[in-house]
Amino acid sequence: MSEAAHEELDLGGEVCPYTFVRAKLRLEELPLGAELHILVDHAPAAENVPRSLRAEGQEVVSITPERAPGGARWRIVTIKRAEPRLRKTPRT
Amino acid sequence: MALEIGVLVADPGMLERALDLVRNVDEAQLFLMDEGVRAAPAPRLVAAIDDGLDAALCAMDAEARGVTAAAGGPRFGSQWDHATMVRDAARVVAMTGGRIDDSDGATPGPGRRVAVRLTRDARDPKVAQALRAAVGYAAADLSVVVVVEPPARALLASDEHAPSLLRAIATLRGLGHRFVEVATSNHRVSCDIEVSW
């Protein structure tokens, strides 16, 4: 894995739909090409967050289980490849 | 191929009706959430999936109700699946346990306007589920308006609610979505899709 600097978003204790809402909000703040490590500790999020990221055009590099103080968690490494759309954009 | 119909089932008693709707449709999707996840093991649903139906359930609701993954059953998804179904299906039918909404005709895609109608007391668990779904819609680039009918009026009249409700309200408002109080259940708001809870 690249040793390049990356941002980290700890979503421990967070569940759907706030996992992907917060992931998108964080990606919104980052420049294209930035690497974001998202930490989740809810097993379904380890599958569903990457799926939603890919569907939005982001690159998901890896999903790795890790040991955490409270039990299992997963590190989702993603690279921002598209601008997320989250704020309300009324149809004209 | 475009998604022809998406059906939300939040009441297990509605499953049969939902399956009747998607029968013989080439591109159909079913999403189970809330109490609807209890219908996951239904043999007719498993048979429909075997025949090509795309069916998912809310993993969080399943976990809360002790519903586990079964061979051939719906996949464990998220509110993202629900929201993209509402965004992308030509016709959306919502069966949440109250009135049945059948929305057809609006062009699918981002920016589609979804009205989430709250028809119950603000403390009813279905209201929390409605707002959770609404947050998912917002995250999938839908334009959300939460329509508050008289039984749910306390939702906006007070700040004394469960943290999950307060968070959903703050999230929706923070993302620029609206809450509208209406005087009667007959009051319609301009929207493409309606989902009543």
- Give the pLDDT of residue B70: 85
pLDDT band at A28; cut points 50, 70, 90? very high
List pLDDT tens digits, range B73-127. Answer: 999 999 999 999 999 999 999 999 989 999 997 899 999 999 999 999 999 999 9
Q: How far is A20 from chain B (nearest CA, A)?
A: 8
- Give the pLDDT of residue B186: 87
List pLDDT tens digits, range B10-37. Answer: 999 999 999 999 999 999 999 999 999 9
Contact B59 A44 (CB under 8 A): yes
Cα separation, B6 vs A16, in Å, equals 20
Contact B110 A85 (CB under 8 A): yes
Q: Which two tokens stand for residue B162?
A: 């469960």
Q: What are phi and psi of B46, to 5 degrees?
A: -60, -40
Residues 6+ apart with CB under 8 A from B41: B67, B70, B73
